Chain A
Amino acid sequence: MKNHFLLLIFSLLVFPSPSWSYVCSRVPDSTGQETGPSLSWYTRSITFALQQDGTTDIAGDQELDELRDSFAVWEENLAANAGNTCDPQELTTDLVFTESNSLSSSTLVGYDFLNPSKNENLLLFQDTSWPHAGTSGIILALTTNTYNALTGEIFDSDIEFNSSNFTFTLSSNSNPQTDLKNTAVHEIGHFIGLGHVPIRAATMYEQASTAETKKRDLHCDDAEATHFKYPFALPNGYCTPTEACGFCAPPDTISSTVQVKISDTNPDSTSGCQCAAGQTGWLGFAWLLLLRKRRERA
């Protein structure tokens, strides 16, 4: 056992985490590499909805308050939310997260593009079963972003918490199991288009140990990312993609009308549809309507 321990110590010393700056999630190219525009909201006022059932892991509705508090971590004075230890000290954003007027009865994760009014930026607990095969005891939560592949504009984001396999606890709990705020603050980072970083102390570090709480607030790297992407009273931040600015690449130039073709791949199925670029006509018009409705919603 002693030898095993020494091996583990040796590996930690020899393979330290590299220092790194923040990372913007980006649109992948045809080979699967993320080389396209970075994923970004085009509005600074984002509405989210909390699923009404919450989780039975936590008594009452306290878990919903914890989620509201988690959004607030990514607002306003980011440097303060990172403990006022950042250089530069001025790291701010005008991102505002607003809760919808009522709790949601929906469980729709992903995007219903044929019924855009049904979509919400939903946060829900999967208490009864976790729907993603092969991940049940490993993945604490998943964020699904739906975006315009030409521009990187995010128009829907949903967060699922794996409460059927993990027991979530509040930040007030002195004996945390899977700390809800620790998980939620990280997922909200994905919600606004941030990717994983290999800085172990950062909120956007990809893994969480049992009872971890360090992601309840921001690391300076996370604050810098949000300040760059969504600077106060300035347009979204983009750059010539380099590591130094998190590869936050600008949108592609759109030189043609968006075209959508929809075909039912299985006429007997009620669950599938497929769309591809190419055909104009009423479907293109429907797409434009969808875009307009989406902007109205935002």
Chain B
Amino acid sequence: MNNFLVFVLVLAFPLLANASSARQASLEELLDYSTLIVVGTPASRTSAWEKTRIYTTWDFLIEEVWLQEDTVDPKKLSALASLTKLAIKTLGGIVGEIGQTVAGSPRLITGQTYLLFLTPSQEGSFFIVGLSQGAFEVNGESLRQLSQLGDMKIVDDRLELPSTRTKLRQAIIQARRSKPHQ
């Protein structure tokens, strides 16, 4: 592992603090589980029952795409690379007067920019890897893993990491390059 990636991982670890009863996933694991990594903004959402579960589907507008090329069907590569929006599904939501919540499931907010590690679902939409562990809030040049602390956000200037977004982006590219193709 190169020094730069180690540096980014060390910086990122204090932010990796959100999931249900969960093991803390490293950045490398998030990369291993993901097919697609995107930066963008959820524009709208709809929640619906699927059998006994409520899922929320987010209409996600994409600003940047990174592909885990070795995990994608080559025929779909160009289509995915040029995506401008996609559907992202999260566990839980409210339908009518019934709500369902899954502890650790990321609660996205419309209009907020995120970096998301994604894995495809069977119906063409995507799930976020590791529930909230694969979701990072992007604020300018800072990046923070999603909090599951209710409506409280850990606001601590010491956690603001200038240019983290750029560094993480570079780390992802580095990790992808160093990953042996199958």
Please report A residues at the B interface, Cβ cutoff 8 Å: 3-4, 7-8, 10-12, 14-15, 18, 20, 23-28, 31-35, 39, 108-113, 132-135, 137-150, 183, 186-187, 190, 195-198, 206-210, 243, 247, 258-261, 265, 271-277, 287
Of all chain B residues, the one with the shortest Cβ separation from A190 is B103
> How far is it, in angstroms, between the C-alpha of A138 and the C-alpha of B11 when the chains are bound?
20
CB <8 Å contact, B103 and A196:
yes
Cβ–Cβ < 8 Å partners of A207 in chain B? 17, 19, 22-24
> How far is it, in angstroms, between the C-alpha of A147 and the C-alpha of B48 when the chains are bound?
15
Cβ–Cβ < 8 Å partners of B22 in chain A? 138-140, 206-208
> How far is it, in angstroms, between the C-alpha of A271 and the C-alpha of B21 when the chains are bound?
29
> How far is it, in angstroms, between the C-alpha of A35 and the C-alpha of B109 when the chains are bound?
13
A140 touches which one: B21, B48, B50 (CB < 8 A)?
Answer: B21
A134 touches which one: B23, B33, B152 (CB < 8 A)?
Answer: B33
> How far apart are B18's CB and chain A's nearest CB, in angstroms?
6
> How far apart are B16's CB and chain A's nearest CB, in angstroms?
8
CB <8 Å contact, B107 and A144:
no
CB <8 Å contact, A142 and B149:
no
The answer, yes or no, to whether B159 is at the interface (CB within 8 Å) is: yes
Of all chain B residues, the one with the shortest Cβ separation from A109 is B52
Which chain B residues (1-41) contact chain A, with CB distance < 8 Å? Answer: 3, 6-7, 10-11, 13-14, 17-25, 29, 33-34
12 pairs across A/B with beta carbons < 8 Å?
A4-B10, A10-B10, A32-B45, A32-B108, A111-B52, A132-B131, A133-B127, A137-B23, A140-B21, A141-B21, A145-B103, A195-B150
> How far is it, in angstroms, between the C-alpha of A277 and the C-alpha of B94 when the chains are bound?
11
Cβ–Cβ < 8 Å partners of A15 in chain B? 14, 158-159
CB <8 Å contact, A134 and B130:
yes
Quick one: given A25-B101, A145-B100, are A11 and B91 in contact (CB under 8 Å)?
no
Cβ–Cβ < 8 Å partners of B149 in chain A? 20, 23, 195-198
> How far apart are B121's CB and chain A's nearest CB, in angstroms?
6
B86-117 interface code vs A (CB 8 A; 1 in, 0 out): 00000110111111111110011111000001
Quick one: given A15-B159, A23-B152, are A7 and B6 in contact (CB under 8 Å)?
yes
> How far apart are A134's CB and chain B's nearest CB, in angstroms?
4
Of all chain A residues, the one with the shortest Cβ separation from B134 is A134
CB <8 Å contact, B154 and A144:
no
CB <8 Å contact, A276 and B152:
no
CB <8 Å contact, B102 and A144:
yes
Which chain B residues (44-62) contact chain A, with CB distance < 8 Å? Answer: 45, 48-54
Total inter-chain residue pairs, C-beta < 8 Å: 219
> How far apart are B92's CB and chain A's nearest CB, in angstroms?
8
The answer, yes or no, to whether B73 is at the interface (CB within 8 Å) is: no
> How far is it, in angstroms, between the C-alpha of A137 and the C-alpha of B99 when the chains are bound?
27
CB <8 Å contact, A206 and B128:
no
B96 touches which one: A27, A139, A277 (CB < 8 A)?
Answer: A277
Cβ–Cβ < 8 Å partners of B154 in chain A? 18, 198
> How far apart are B123's CB and chain A's nearest CB, in angstroms?
11
CB <8 Å contact, A11 and B11:
yes
Cβ–Cβ < 8 Å partners of A20 in chain B? 149
Quick one: given A7-B10, A134-B128, A209-B23, are A32 and B104 in contact (CB under 8 Å)?
no
> How far is it, in angstroms, between the C-alpha of A14 and the C-alpha of B133 when the chains are bound?
22
CB <8 Å contact, A34 and B151:
yes
Quick one: given A11-B11, A14-B158, A186-B21, are A108 and B52 in contact (CB under 8 Å)?
yes
A275 touches which one: B20, B49, B133, B148 (CB < 8 A)?
Answer: B49
> How far apart are B59's CB and chain A's nearest CB, in angstroms?
14
Of all chain B residues, the one with the shortest Cβ separation from A278 is B96
